[in-house]
């Protein structure tokens, strides 16, 4: 399946966003650096805030403190979502308590709470106080990191990075060894950025040197793999192969541990991708024999496969004389909805070879595969149906017209929350355009694309340009911060913590399905969404 259906509201789970979500968790305490998770308050917050640290060691005490803040985090979103005067008062009281804690993390949470309540000046003043009290803390560190990211010249970035190291040194243990469990992850992100820019500027050795500076164990694979991908784009295949081999080596250790959560799982999830990246270079070099076993290992390591993964594996099989196996892989891709146009063309050639039929017979075969995929979703989806009231909203579209969800009562409505900076959102749009085209003559189905969480001052213009440049026929609504601080953005009203997130609302105004993320298979996405619409219309 290509969308991730979740009964509980949560962030997207596909591998492309597991990386992003874990990065957020590591840097979860600075809203001004753009790195803060949504926060929440817990019931009985006063006792939680003043609870004694019961652990016997510094590590135990840190764990207790983290658990307490997690509890606060899990509640505040609910209070801000309900947004009653009483709940806002509770948030404000907690913010004031946290502000006086003399603890940077708690004060940072306080600043975020105040900002969420519309008290911008109080939040800014507290942020300034945090920087004053903690000149070498994570708030200042992330501000400095953001400035380095924004610099485009790698030499300038390097100079800024060296000054940062002098001002706020990386964390070390008692023996003087650099901590490698995540404490220095911000420095690793900076090195990753500098490495990428040096490679893009043609200084490949400098880029490789900075990729090699990464110290966090579970991030090393990403550092090597990211630099390798940049080297491939620059045509530096031999250098890229060496880095992919390093990425494979460090990530394989984590993969073999079969982790299910935490930093180990983050490290493991990159392993099959690094294998594919290395094999793709071998395919470019027409070294199909060496590429095939690597792709077999990568294919076995993935639970779900993208259209690109299927196609690469098919090509290696076909080039080494395994046409029957290549056809079977393509057939599996098609039946799983991962059939890109390029894959379908390759499969069509194999169909003629393996089946001994005519190319014209392939269309019937393709139609049957899509019908089977649709039937599979119709069978599976009823078990995941929701029955929740859809919250009404009133916001403007790109043309300045006010749109109310209530106006669509009696129709099946698909809400798609997205942003111009969101890669998975944009990758899902060709499939969404296919779905829009399928229902364009059906007056009982409506698609609303809600642009949210934009970061730039000219966001509306950027949205318009993106939609126009890509020729999307979408009704785009603009979810912006309301002037009234008591009002919530639509994205908050729907309890969304990650995008893309889609909702299918039935004619009676009930949420029947929630979808998160995007796996890259257009056929699966369209068939899955079509089945959801069909089921929602039945009520």
Three-class SS string for 331-392? HHHHHCCCCCHHHHHHHHHHHHHHHCCCCCHHHHHHHHHHHHHHHHHHHHHHHHCCCEECCC
Q: What's phi and psi for 503, nearest 5 deg?
A: -125, 140
Q: Say if 398 falls within a structural domain.
A: yes
Residue range(s) defining the domain that contains residue 482: 388-538
Per-residue pLDDT at 170: 97
Mean pLDDT value across the chain:
87
CATH code for the domain in which residue 402 is found: 3.40.30.10
Per-residue pLDDT at 59: 64
Per-residue pLDDT at 20: 38
For strand 402-404 and strand 476-478, is the pairing parallel, antiparallel, or unpaired?
A: unpaired
Q: Say if 304 falls within a structural domain.
A: no
Please say which residue of 134, 159, 181 terminates a domain: 134
User: pLDDT of 165-198, one tens digit each?
Assistant: 999 999 999 999 999 999 999 999 999 999 999 9
Which of the pair, 207 or 79, is modelled with greater confidence? 207
Q: Say if 12 falls within a structural domain.
A: no
Tokens of 335: 């039946």
Q: Say if 519 falls within a structural domain.
A: yes
**Chain centroid, CA 283 distance in Å:** 29
Q: Say if 162 falls within a structural domain.
A: no
Q: Say if 117 falls within a structural domain.
A: yes
CA nearest to 495, candidates 87, 77, 115, 79: 77
Please say which residue of 134, 159, 177 terminates a domain: 134
Q: Say if 79 falls within a structural domain.
A: yes
- Torsion from C-alpha of 374, 375, 381, 387, nearest 10 degrees: 90
Q: Say if 231 falls within a structural domain.
A: no
Task: Give long-range contacts, CB 8 A cutoff, 24+ apart: 115-118.
Answer: 115/31, 116/76, 116/80, 116/91, 117/88, 117/91, 117/92, 117/485, 118/485, 118/486
Lowest mean pLDDT among 61-70, 124-133, 260-269, 527-536: 61-70
Please say which residue of 117, 134, 151 terminates a domain: 134
The span from the CA of 306 to the CA of 422, in Å, is 18
Which of the pair, 64 or 91, is modelled with greater confidence? 91
Q: Look up residue 4 and give its DSSP letter.
A: E
Count how many domains the chain has. 2
User: pLDDT of 408-456, one tens digit each?
Assistant: 999 999 999 999 999 999 999 999 999 999 999 999 999 999 999 998 8
Percent of the chain, pLDDT > 90?
Answer: 72
Residue 436, CA distances (Å) to 294, 426, 525 in order:
39, 15, 12
């Amino acid at each position: 399946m290509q969308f991730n259906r979740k009964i509980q509201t949560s962030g997207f789970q596909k591998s492309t966003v597991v990386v992003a979500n874990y990065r957020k968790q590591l840097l979860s305490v600075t809203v001004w650096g753009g790195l803060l998770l949504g926060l929440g308050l817990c019931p009985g917050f006063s006792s939680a805030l003043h609870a004694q640290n019961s652990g016997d060691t510094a590590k135990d005490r840190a764990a207790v403190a983290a658990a307490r803040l997690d509890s606060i985090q899990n509640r505040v979103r609910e209070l801000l979502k309900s947004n009653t005067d009483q709940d806002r008062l509770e948030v404000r009281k907690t913010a004031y308590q946290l502000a006086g804690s003399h603890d940077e993390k708690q004060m940072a949470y306080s600043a975020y709470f105040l900002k969420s309540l519309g008290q911008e000046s109080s939040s800014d003043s507290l942020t300034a106080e945090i920087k004053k009290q903690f000149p070498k803390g994570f708030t200042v560190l992330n501000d400095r990191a953001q400035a380095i990211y924004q610099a485009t010249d790698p030499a300038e970035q390097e100079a800024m990075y060296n000054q940062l190291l002098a001002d706020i040194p990386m964390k070390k243990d008692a023996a003087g060894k650099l901590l490698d469990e995540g404490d220095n992850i911000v420095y690793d992100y900076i090195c990753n950025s500098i490495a990428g820019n040096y490679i893009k500027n043609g200084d490949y050795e400098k880029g490789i040197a900075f990729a090699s500076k990464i110290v966090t164990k579970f991030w090393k694979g990403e550092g090597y793999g990211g630099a390798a991908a940049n080297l491939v784009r620059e045509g530096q295949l031999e250098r890229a192969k060496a880095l992919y081999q390093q990425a494979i080596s460090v990530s394989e250790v984590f993969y073999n541990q079969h982790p299910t959560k935490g930093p180990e799982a983050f490290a493991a999830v990159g392993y099959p991708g690094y294998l594919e990246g290395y094999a793709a270079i071998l395919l470019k070099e027409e070294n199909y024999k060496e590429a095939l076993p690597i792709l077999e290992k990568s294919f076995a390591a993935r639970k779900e496969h993208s259209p690109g993964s299927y196609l690469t594996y098919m090509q290696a099989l076909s080039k080494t004389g395994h046409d029957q196996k290549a056809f079977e892989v393509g057939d599996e891709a098609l039946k799983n909805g991962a059939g890109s146009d390029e894959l379908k063309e390759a499969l069509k050639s194999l169909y003629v070879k393996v089946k001994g039929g005519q190319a014209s017979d392939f269309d019937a075969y393709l139609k049957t595969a899509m019908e089977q995929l649709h039937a599979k979703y119709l069978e599976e989806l009823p078990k995941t149906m929701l029955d929740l009231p859809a919250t009404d909203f009133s916001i403007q579209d790109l043309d300045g017209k006010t749109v109310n969800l209530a106006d669509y009562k009696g129709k099946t409505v698909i809400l798609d929350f997205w942003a111009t900076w969101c890669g998975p959102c944009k990758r899902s749009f060709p499939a969404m355009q296919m779905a829009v085209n399928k229902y364009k003559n059906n007056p009982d189905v409506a698609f609303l694309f809600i642009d949210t969480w934009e970061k730039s001052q000219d966001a509306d213009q950027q949205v318009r340009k993106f939609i126009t440049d890509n020729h999307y026929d979408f009704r785009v609504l603009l979810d912006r911060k309301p002037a009234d601080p008591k009002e919530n953005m639509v994205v908050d009203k729907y309890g969304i913590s990650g995008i893309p997130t889609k909702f299918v609302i039935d004619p009676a105004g009930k949420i029947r399905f929630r979808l998160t993320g995007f796996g890259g298979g257009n056929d699966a996405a369209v068939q899955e969404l079509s089945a959801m619409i069909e089921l929602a219309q039945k009520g």
